[in-house]
């Protein structure tokens, strides 16, 4: 069975249920990114500062653009992104192999 393509969101802590990011807004989030074997490839938490990006304009992988738009401020969730919503057939050498499913623990801190 092939996994469903896209991004799966599993909420671990509910947000405010009101403030959802919209295309073009600046999102501030913490994240830890892992491969499906559990090996961590990146973490804003380890760097000690959250990551900021403009949502919905392709600055980040599709799984983040689509997944985080469904989260509200304060929400913590696990985003599981199939390869087509991640780095695809090329991966991100040397840390992310080609066609990797990616698992991100994310916290949506703020939207501006």
pLDDT tens by residue, 43-90: 999 999 999 999 999 999 999 999 999 999 999 999 999 999 999 999
How wide is the angle at C-alpha 32 spanned by C-alphas 111 and 66, nearest 5°? Answer: 50
Identify the pLDDT of residue 3.
52
Q: Name which of 32, 12, 22 is nearest 68 in CA terms.
A: 22
pTM: 0.93
CA distances from 24 to 37, 58, 59, 76, 98 (A): 33, 10, 10, 21, 29
User: Predicted confidence band at 5 (pLDDT cuts at 50, 70, 90)?
Assistant: confident
Active site residues: 31, 41-42, 61, 87, 104
> CA-to-CA distance for 81 and 90, rounded, in angstroms?
15
The three-state (H, E, C) secondary structure of 55-106, written as one string: CCCCCCCHHHHHHHCCCCCCCEEEEEECHHHCCHHHCECCCECCCCCEEEEE
């Amino acid at each position: 069975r092939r996994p469903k393509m896209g991004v799966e969101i599993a909420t671990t802590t509910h947000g405010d249920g009101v403030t959802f990011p919209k295309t073009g807004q600046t999102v501030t989030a913490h994240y830890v990114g892992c491969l499906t074997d559990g090996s961590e490839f990146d973490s804003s938490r380890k760097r000690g500062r959250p990551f900021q990006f403009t949502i919905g304009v392709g600055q980040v992988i599709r799984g983040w653009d689509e997944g985080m738009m469904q989260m509200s401020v304060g929400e913590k969730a696990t985003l599981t992104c199939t390869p087509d919503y991640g780095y695809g057939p090329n991966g991100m050498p040397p840390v992310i192999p080609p066609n990797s499913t990616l698992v991100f623990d994310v916290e949506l801190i703020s939207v501006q």
